[in-house]
Amino acid sequence: DSGVTQTPKHLITATGQRVTLRCSPRSGDLSVYWYQQSLDQGLQFLIQYYNGEERAKGNILERFSAQQFPDLHSELNLSSLELGDSALYFCASTRGNGADTQYFGPGTRLTVL
Amino acid sequence: AQSVTQLGSHVSVSEGALVLLRCNYSSSVPPYLFWYVQYPNQGLQLLLKYTTGATLVKGINGFEAEFKKSETSFHLTKPSAHMSDAAEYFCAVSVNSGYSTLTFGKGTMLLVSP
């Protein structure tokens, strides 16, 4: 158990819908990272937050957004969902903002029908 | 920008045989290198990492990796495979900058036969 929690574990929804994925980092960790894992693209970095502020952006679509709240949990919002958004979404956390070891949560499996 | 290439999407070994999973990286600055393992329906677990110092790094479950700057490689090895090692393995690179993120390879699925 990494100490990172993600909810829900599974999510099934329809095209065009909007969903919110939630991540709670390890106790004391200030950074949260979001990744998407799909068969086509592999593991891709989406976005990073550090202590409530966006710090780095990767291959995140404009339909996707994220935020980190004062209690340091983070939410990833996916809107206007398409079939191709079906994937595993992981969050990871680190103590600081640099090249620390990232501890991964169990992931949320999103299925868009 | 950095990148990672993992040679072989699938590697098959017999139980007790040597495990060798290959990883080559590209980075314009000194890299930090990681190996993660993913068991079915689970998140990624850190096996080992190289940041600075000793180039031979030992990790959990008997795995080790050697950083070879001249070859831009960070191959993962284990002397004797167990059935429980069957999983997907990811090599990743990062750099020690202010806003550092991980870039992952495509992954290698390790299959262990009795």
Residue B100 has pLDDT above 70, yes or no: no
Smallest CA–CA distance, residue B8 to chain A, in Å, is: 14
In A, minimum Cα distance to B104 occurs at A43
What average pLDDT does this structure show over B63-73? 95
DSSP A63: T
Asked if B102 lies within 8 A of A33 by C-beta distance, the reply is yes
Convert the pLDDT of each residue in A55-82 to its tens digit. Answer: 989 889 999 999 999 999 999 999 999 9
DSSP per-residue string spanning chain B: --EEEEE-SEEEEETTS-EEEEEEEE-SS-EEEEEEEE-TTS-EEEEEEE-SS-SEEE-GGG-EEEEEGGGTEEEEEESS--GGG-EEEEEEEEE-STT---EE---EEEEEE-
Name the helix (H) or strand (E) containing A57: strand A53-57
What is the percentage of chain B residues whose pLDDT exceeds 90? 74
Q: Which of B75, B7, B69, B1 is nearest to B35 (CA)?
A: B75
In A, minimum Cα distance to B102 occurs at A45
Convert the pLDDT of each residue in B30-53 to its tens digit. Answer: 888 999 999 988 889 999 999 888
Beta-sheet pairing, A103-104 with A5-7: unpaired
List CB contacts of A38: < 8 A, sequence separation 6 or more. Answer: A44, A84, A86, A87, A88
Mean pLDDT of chain A: 93
Residues 6-25 of B with CB under 8 A from A: none
Q: How far apart are CA A64 and CA A46, in angstroms?
A: 9
Asked if A99 lies within 8 A of B51 by C-beta distance, the reply is yes
B36 touches chain A (CB under 8 A): yes
B104 touches chain A (CB under 8 A): yes
